[in-house]
Structures are given as structure tokens and as C-alpha cells.
Amino acid sequence: MEEKQYLVDALTIQESWRIFRIMAEFVDAIETLSGINHAVSIFGSARVKAGESYYEKTVVLARLLAKEGFSVITGGGPGIMEAANKGAAEGGGKSVGMNIRLPFEQKPNPYANIHIDYKYFFIRKVMFVKYALAYIILPGGFGTLDELFEALTLIQTKRIRSFPVILMGSEYWKGLLDWLKKSMLREEMILSEDLHYFQVIDDPEEVVRHIKRFVIV
């Protein structure tokens, strides 16, 4: 039997019905988020605990954003996501949790006042970009890096309009930033102007001021 080279070759009639599930998930997400304006997406680790520095700083940040009229969107789970939803709810804002069904770690937090449950990662990622006027990236793992670099790639390739991308936690991100400069830039894999697509800001109030310079609420 000839080996199938491409995934599309393996699609069966049953698999084709998945297209309708994907369409339904898109429609549900768009309808649920239709009233969301001036949103900021906040990303970070699910493993950060309440009381830890990054958790508490995220609560403060999201509360400030909400009081300035911004909605806050997160992945809906624990850790940094929970902290952001908590701060937004405390600030009287729209606190959106876009949870993804996973076999571990990812359980919806109780602070989102607008909740969506996703099966497909790529749909969730489209919604993050579609409704966000800014991205704030706190310390996290592979998923956080995925969101960061997808946004930077879309901005770099002009597939979306440039918007503020802010890294919080300069000490945590230092190694990554050094690698971008000493490896990628030095080897001419990126251009020097590509490093201007994001900013590193640690103070929550300064983060809000930076976003407000680009976004009028």
C-alpha cells in the first residue's frame, strides 16, 4: 500500500465532520465575545500560586486595566490566568476566561465572569488575537512562548496590525532576550527592528500607561 505523505490524504468521511465541529466552536466563540471591546490578553504560567510575586503583581495589573476601561482575556485556567481574571473582576471589568480542555493542570478558575470552553487550540489562539488590543506576557512555559511568538510572527509578517506586546518579569525573560540578540540577531535570522515589536516593563502602572499611549478607551 502506498504510504500517505500528507495528513490531508488520511481524511475520511468521518473526519470531514470535524469541520462542522470547528465551525461551531468558532461561531460560539464569536457570539460569546461579541460584546468585548478594548481587551488586553494576559498570558503566563498555570503553575504560579496565589501569594507569589508574579501572581499578586498580575492581580494588581488586571485590576488597574479594568478600572481604566479595559476588558481582560486569559486562558481561563489557574496561576497567572486566575490572577488576571481575579484582578479584572475586582476592578469591575469584563473578565474573560477562554479555557482549553486538557488532561492536566487546565481547570477553569472561578473569577472569569465570561467563560468559553475550547476543544481546539488554534481556535482559542485566533480569539486571543482577534479581540486583543495588547498582549501582556508574564513568566510561563511552552504555551506562553507559543502565544508570544505567534503574535510577534503575525506582526512581523504584517498579517495583523502591530499592537503593544509587553513582557513583564525582566529577570525571567533576560535569558530569552540575550538569546534573541546574541544568536538570532547575530546570525541574521531576524532584523534589529524585529526586537522593537515588544517592550519589557515590570511595573504594572507603567504597563497600563504604555498601553494607553497606543489605545484610546
The confidence score (pLDDT) of residue 1 equals: 45
C-alpha closest to that of 55 among 77, 74, 81, 34: 81
The confidence score (pLDDT) of residue 14 equals: 65
Lowest-pLDDT choice from 14-23, 60-69, 85-94, 158-167: 14-23
Lowest-pLDDT choice from 35-39, 60-64, 89-93, 163-167: 35-39
Q: pLDDT band at residue 12, thresholds of 50, 70 and 90?
A: low
Residue type present at position 93: G
Instruction: Render pLDDT for 102-154 as a digit per residue (tens, 0 to 9).
Output: 877 668 899 999 999 999 999 999 999 999 999 999 999 999 999 999 999 99
Tell whether the torsion through CA atoms of 109, 56, 169 and 207 is positive or negative: positive
* DSSP track, 107-154: ---TT-SEEEEES-HHHHHHHHHHHEEEEEE-S--HHHHHHHHHHHHH
For the segment 178-193, the average pLDDT, to the nearest whole number, is 97
Give the whole-number percent of the chain exceeding pLDDT 70.
91
Instruction: Render pLDDT for 39-89 as a digit per residue (tens, 0 to 9).
Output: 999 999 999 999 999 999 999 999 999 999 999 999 999 999 999 999 999
Q: Is the domain defined by 35-214 classed in CATH 3.40.50.450?
A: yes
Q: Contact, 86 vs 59, CB < 8 A? A: yes
Strand order, beta sheet including 71-74: 114-118, 95-100, 71-74, 39-43, 132-137, 165-167, 199-200
The confidence score (pLDDT) of residue 17 equals: 79
Dist CA 99 CA 4 (whole Å): 34
At 35 the three-state DSSP class reads: coil
Give the whole-number percent of the chain exceeding pLDDT 90.
84
Task: Assess whether pLDDT exceeds 70 at residue 2.
Answer: no
User: Where is 193: in which H helix or E strand?
Assistant: none
Residue predicted with more confidence, 5 or 79:
79
The confidence score (pLDDT) of residue 176 equals: 98
Residue predicted with more confidence, 78 or 1:
78
For the segment 170-191, the average pLDDT, to the nearest whole number, is 97
Question: Rounded to two decimals, what is the model's pTM?
Answer: 0.90
